[in-house]
Amino acid sequence: MSTKGALPTSPADIRSAIVTDATQQSPGLTANLPGSLIEDIVSTDVSAVVQIDQARIDAINSITPYGANAFVLQQMGAQFGIPQGVPTNTSVYVVFSGPAGYIIPAGFNVSDGTYNYIIQEGGVILTGGDTNPLYAVATQSGSWPVPINTVTQIITSVPSGYAITVKNQIAGVAGSAAETVQSYRSRIINAYSSAGQGTPTYIKTLLGKVPGVQPRLISVSAVSGGWEIICGGGDPYDVANAIYKGILDLSSIIGSTTTARNITVTVTDPPDTYTITFVSPPQQVVAVSCIWNTTNANFTGAASVNQLASVAIINYINSIGVGQPINTLEMTRAFQDAVSSALGHLYYLTALTFSVKIDGVTTLPSAGTDIIYGDSESYFYTTQTGVSVTQG
């Protein structure tokens, strides 16, 4: 053992130990005659023991969040109550308008004209004529953007005489695939660093446990007068419960200055009730146009480069944390890592430019930087149709 973990035994030492044990049982044994049956058996045994010893090394060195295999990582997650993320459906917060007192039950069905969404927790239209934002989940799996004011159709029948309308005042959260081992490992490491109740890391850990919450859509930041907590995905009551458990002073929570983004939930810990506000991050749809070229006049793999680069750019954009900017240097690196094998060598890549649109508006990097900023409370999202990669 060393500071780097368990160390393997050298093949020479393993061979010596095998021969010593065999000689003790059969004095006079000669194990180094080339081509002999005994030498062949010894060599085979050494190879087998080397593999067994390496398996021992791998098992010991995997008892760490940095090197754990998928199975051990899940056991570590069980210690913290953090399961690996499963696929989640697209979700959106909607507001119903109509006569005060009208009840919107759980299971109410609304639509954007293409996809249907089911209300998870019922609500009631308040005196002002609107409900609080109600959480709705898509009825089918998949990932797609839900722009503001697109969920406007009511599918569930409403009795005649009641003029009920619906709309989403903030963009929805696109569904997610099963969590990767790399992402899960990152959350486990983050959990190990949770110092104690009330710290941002601890609150992020609790929010990360909530089913449906996407880790990149969690932010706990200090703002003037308190803390702003941003959380995308998950049932609002689960999210509020995580915040309640993780923060010491609930009065220090401050919502967004754009009130439509605020989700306010009341939780009860008998005999007391607490009002908890968090921010549902809006979605900013990104379109990227990438143009590249090569000095290799005989290169015929442009289609392969375009496909590989497109996937890499999509993955990069959809991995950026809420409120964080697009870094064109990072996007360049993602492009290069993806296409280096297809090009043969990055030496042949001679031109690479990006043009970025955010919500349909061409957006340039901030002066003197390669950073493209969006809204500080929003997150970026793109799809295959939003990324264009061409040689030119």
Q: What secondary structure does DSSP assign to 217-285, as a single string?
A: GEEEEEETTEEEEEE-SS-HHHHHHHHHHH-S-GGGB---SSGGGEEEEEEEETTEEEEEEEEPPPEEE
The answer as to whether 324 is a domain residue is yes
Residue with tokens 């934002």: 133
369 and 293 in a common domain? yes
Who has greater pLDDT, 38 or 193?
Answer: 38
Task: Give the global pTM.
Answer: 0.71
* Structural domain harbouring 209: 194-279
274 and 304 in a common domain? no
For residues 158 and 22, give the distance between their C-alpha atoms in angstroms, rounded to a whole number. 87
The answer as to whether 121 is a domain residue is yes
- How many structural domains compose the chain? 4
154 class by beta-carbon count within 10 Å (0-12 exposed, 13-18 middle, 19+ buried) = middle
101 and 53 in a common domain? no
Last residue of a domain, one of 234, 252, 279: 279
Who has greater pLDDT, 206 or 69?
Answer: 206
3-state secondary structure of 307: helix
264 and 294 in a common domain? no
Q: Would the pLDDT of 92 be above 90?
A: yes
The single-letter DSSP state of residue 30 is: -
For residues 126 and 96, give the distance between their C-alpha atoms in angstroms, rounded to a whole number. 10
The answer as to whether 57 is a domain residue is yes
Quick one: pLDDT at residue 280?
94
160 and 98 in a common domain? yes
334 and 262 in a common domain? no
387 and 309 in a common domain? yes
The answer as to whether 4 is a domain residue is no
For residues 230 and 218, give the distance between their C-alpha atoms in angstroms, rounded to a whole number. 6
Who has greater pLDDT, 197 or 309?
Answer: 309
Query: If you average pLDDT over residues 177-192, what whole number do you get?
Result: 79
Per-residue model confidence as pLDDT tens digits over 106-144: 999 999 999 999 999 888 898 889 998 999 999 998 889
308 and 273 in a common domain? no
Note whether 96 and 109 are within 8 A (CB). Answer: no
- Which amino acid is it at 44? T
Q: Would the pLDDT of 6 be above 90?
A: no
For residues 333 and 335, give the distance between their C-alpha atoms in angstroms, rounded to a whole number. 5
The answer as to whether 369 is a domain residue is yes
H-state helical runs in 62-123: 70-80
- 102-110's contacts with Cβ under 8 Å and 24+ in sequence apart are 102/162, 102/164, 104/131, 104/134, 107/156, 108/156, 109/139, 109/154, 109/155, 109/156, 110/136, 110/151, 110/153, 110/154, 110/155, 110/156, 110/166
| Residue closest to 106 by CA, chosen among 71, 129, 137, 64 | 137
387 and 289 in a common domain? yes
Go through the chain and tell me how many residues it has: 392
The answer as to whether 360 is a domain residue is yes
- Structure-block tokens of residue 386: 């939003």
Last residue of a domain, one of 167, 186, 210: 167
Quick one: pLDDT at residue 299?
83
Residue with tokens 């509020």: 240
Query: If you average pLDDT over residues 6-13, what whole number do you get?
Result: 87
The answer as to whether 350 is a domain residue is yes
311 and 383 in a common domain? yes
Per-residue model confidence as pLDDT tens digits over 192-232: 665 566 678 889 888 988 888 998 999 999 888 889 999 99
Quick one: pLDDT at residue 193?
63
370 and 288 in a common domain? yes
Q: State the pLDDT confidence band at 157, using cuts at 50, 70 and 90.
A: very high
- Structure-block tokens of residue 55: 């398996």
Q: Would the pLDDT of 191 be above 90?
A: no
For residues 316 and 325, give the distance between their C-alpha atoms in angstroms, rounded to a whole number. 12
Quick one: pLDDT at residue 73?
85
Q: Would the pLDDT of 29 be above 90?
A: no
How many separate helices (H) and strands (E) can be counted in the chain?
Answer: 8, 19
Per-residue model confidence as pLDDT tens digits over 318-353: 999 999 999 999 999 999 999 988 888 888 899 999
302 and 272 in a common domain? no
- Structure-block tokens of residue 364: 């340039």
The answer as to whether 178 is a domain residue is no
